[in-house]
Amino acid sequence: MPTADRLPLSVWAPRAERVRLLAGGRELSMRPGVGPDDGPSDRPEDEGWWVPAEPLPADLGDEFDYGYLLDDETEPTPDPRSRWQPEGVHGLSRTFDPSRYAWSDGLWKGRQLPGGVIYEMHVGTFTPEGTLDSAIERLDHLAELGIDFVELLPVNAYNGEHGWGYDGVLWYAVHHSYGGPAAYQRFVDACHQRGLGVIQDVVYNHLGPSGNYLPKFAPYFSEGGQNTWGDSINLDGEESDEVRRYIIENAHMWLRDYHVDGLRLDAVHALLDTRAIHVLEELAIETEALSTFLGRPLTLIAESDLNDPRLITSREGGGYGLNAQWSDDFHHALYVSLTGDTSGYYADFESLAALGKVFESGFFHDGTRSSFRGRGHGMKIDTLRTPTWRLVVCQDNHDQIGNRADGQRLSGKLDHQQLRLAALVTLLSPFTPMIFMGEEWGAATPWQFFTSHPEPELAEAVAKGRLEEFAQMDWDPEAVADPQDPETFARSKLDWSELDRAEHAELLAFNRELLRLRRRYPDISDPRFDRALASADDEHDWLVIERGEIIIAVNFSGEPAELEVPEVQQVLLTVGGVEVDGGAFTLPPHGALVARIDLQDRERPGPI
């Protein structure tokens, strides 16, 4: 089983003919050696690993700054596996021993994803301070809401003080402005004390452009291969064994050393791998082994725009064996139903039937033509064998909000009654629902694309590339905030004082009630696709979802909608106020009904 442990300060640098270690201000020689001590017993000493030639001086102590001098260089380079970069990604690395932390989560046995609810959080904008320690102070809010997992946007080290985190260049280090690795341990420990699991968003498909020193050490990147964000990782070329090991050991560092419960794998469609065992399957195999050893569930969630069910199909069934994946189709169908926006990739989701199909089939694009792509897209999910919880759904997430021209949340487009509809459809779906931070009270603050690149030319290139990437979304360039402007970052921070206002507090209470219903009635989260029956009317803009004895009727229109459904036994929740007479009722504009029905009287609903 791969482990992040290695010989003290050893480094993989096959491209160097000479390596020296700068430790505590002293230059020490290194010699060729073996890699991590759990490697194959027949591993030769000529595979590019370097180890200190002599024992480290005793007076260095346990914590000191260090870096590597490659060949004839006079300026040290940070450790590719650095755990701590207190002076940023261009500075020296600092030793950090994760085993020295006294964990208080000894009784924590993990949390399974089925039945769970995820809360997506960006550390830098979750609190005014933007640190892991300050985030701890708000964890009780999440526990009281009914959250099961906190999903952190990437926390690995990147250049600059603030950003989204997807331009990380040192995957093993926790970003210095968040508090570093010790603060990360305190955060995970505090989550577990409150019954909250932690999912860490990791980016293995590219590295950021500033502070990326890996090519100096070894062939971490494919020759001539690029994806949307930069050079492709070398997953299948020469020396790719060690590159894959670098990824898997990083994943296991989070899961083992930091007690994390799962990983969200960014944009796995950009992981170009032609080997017989895809790196995702290899990661699933190794993570399953680690889970067996640790005695707690470990979850792998993919972000993918492929609509390929093989990602979440078990290895026994010929798939990669990941636990779950994000479902863009759910978001797109719900977003269009709420806003009427059919620009760009939203065009195919104009009909309410698209949202109904997602409830019944998982994917909307399951081999159908995608007008945005100009071709057929996706593959059908085997709904008889695939549980619904394998799809993670949301009404908004960091990508969808931040990738709008003005960074506006749904709360900037909808009134609070419509926001109730969005929450109801998402949180009472049979999938694994995810809430983006602040969504639970309808936060009015935007979440814009922000950067702090120290290099002006890089900042300009990133801003220009962003406009080109979203050219098909009918953006008004004048509405796009300057990502380098500090105010863009400041505007994106949550305003917790909003909870003192009645309309925000009421929406928070509504979300809390939805999660209570989700846990009280098993039909709501029943993971069997064949328990779902969806009916939609594009003329009157209503959607009815039946799952067992639970019925959910939603009116997306600004006009009343009259419906008749099987005999209602008990009204569980309404939006806008609904009077029910047997199975007949009128939904007010942007109104909704959640009720228990008489299964013996079940027929497809329709207009009166």
For residue 72, say whether it is annotated as part of any ligand binding site: no
Q: What is the dihedral of CA 303, 308, 309, 311, to 10 degrees?
A: -50
For residue 329, say whether it is annotated as part of any ligand binding site: yes
For residue 403, say whether it is annotated as part of any ligand binding site: yes
> How far apart are alpha carbons 250 and 536 in whole angstroms?
46
For residue 398, say whether it is annotated as part of any ligand binding site: yes
Long-range contact list for 36-41, CB < 8 A, 24+ apart?
36/2, 36/3, 36/5, 36/6, 36/7, 36/10, 36/245, 36/249, 37/5, 37/6, 37/7, 38/1, 38/2, 38/3, 38/5
> How far apart are alpha carbons 608 and 604 in whole angstroms?
12
Nearest C-alpha neighbor of 392 from the set 427, 356, 351, 441: 427
Identified catalytic residue from 65, 249, 266, 305: 266
SS3 state at 270: helix
For residue 105, say whether it is annotated as part of any ligand binding site: no
> How far apart are alpha carbons 469 and 66 in whole angstroms?
39
266 carries an active-site annotation: yes
Nearest C-alpha neighbor of 134 from the set 144, 145, 149, 121: 121
For residue 485, say whether it is annotated as part of any ligand binding site: no
> How far apart are alpha carbons 544 and 110 in whole angstroms?
35
Instruction: Tell me how crowded residue 316 is: count the other CB atoms within 10 A of its CB.
Output: 7
For residue 600, say whether it is annotated as part of any ligand binding site: no
> How far apart are alpha carbons 564 and 411 in whole angstroms?
31
303 carries an active-site annotation: yes
For residue 266, say whether it is annotated as part of any ligand binding site: yes
Beta bridge partners of 233: 221
For residue 264, say whether it is annotated as part of any ligand binding site: yes
Cβ atoms of 466 and 451 closer than 8 Å: no
For residue 402, say whether it is annotated as part of any ligand binding site: yes
> How far apart are alpha carbons 384 and 394 in whole angstroms?
23
For residue 401, say whether it is annotated as part of any ligand binding site: yes
Side chain identity at residue 563, one-letter code:
L
Please, where are the H alpha helices in 318-384?
Answer: 328-339, 352-361
For residue 393, say whether it is annotated as part of any ligand binding site: no
For residue 330, say whether it is annotated as part of any ligand binding site: yes
> How far apart are alpha carbons 552 and 546 in whole angstroms?
6
Cβ atoms of 191 and 150 closer than 8 Å: yes
C-alpha distances (whole Å) from 474 to each of 58, 293, 447, 469, 471 are: 62, 51, 19, 11, 6
C-alpha distances (whole Å) from 54 to each of 31, 32, 44, 47, 67 are: 9, 12, 20, 20, 16
**E-state strands within 214-370:** 221-227, 230-233, 262-265, 299-302, 324-326, 368-370
Nearest C-alpha neighbor of 113 from the set 299, 383, 242: 299
> How far apart are alpha carbons 263 and 325 in whole angstroms?
11
Instruction: Tell me how crowded residue 273 is: count the other CB atoms within 10 A of its CB.
Output: 19
For residue 141, say whether it is annotated as part of any ligand binding site: no
Q: What element of type H or E holds 432?
A: strand 432-436
For residue 504, say whether it is annotated as part of any ligand binding site: no
- Exposed/middle/buried for residue 75 (C-beta within 10 Å: 0-12, 13-18, 19+): exposed
Identified catalytic residue from 79, 189, 231, 303: 303
> How far apart are alpha carbons 608 and 605 in whole angstroms?
9
For residue 250, say whether it is annotated as part of any ligand binding site: no
> How far apart are alpha carbons 434 and 457 in whole angstroms?
36
Enumerate the active-site residues.
266, 303
Which residues are known binding-site members for substrate?
A: 264-269, 328-332, 398-403
Q: Which residues are annotated as a binding site?
A: 264-269, 328-332, 398-403
